[in-house]
Amino acid sequence: MASLRDIKRRIQSVKNTRQITKAMKMVSGAKLKRATDRAVAARPYQESLSRVLGRVAAAAGDTITHPLLVQHEQVEKVLVVVMGSDRGLCGSFNGNIFRRLERHIEKERESGKTVSLRTFGKKARGHFGRRNYNIVSSVTDLTFLGYADAALVLADQLSAEFANGDVHEVWLSYNYFKSAGTQIPTITRLLPLSVAAGGKTAARRPPRAARRARSSTSTSPTASVSSTSCCRCSFAPFSSRRSSTPRLVSTPRVCPPWTTPPETRVT
Active site residues: 90
What is each CA distance from 246 to 70, 79, 122, 213, 220, in whole angstroms?
52, 53, 53, 19, 16
Name, in order, each residue with C-beta under 8 angstroms of 101's C-beta and a sequence gap of 6 or more.
80, 82, 173, 187
Show the DSSP H helices in the chain as ranges. 4-41, 43-60, 93-110, 122-130, 147-164
Question: Cα–Cα distance between 9 and 16 in angstroms, integer?
Answer: 11
Phi, then psi, of 135 in degrees rounded to 5? -100, 115
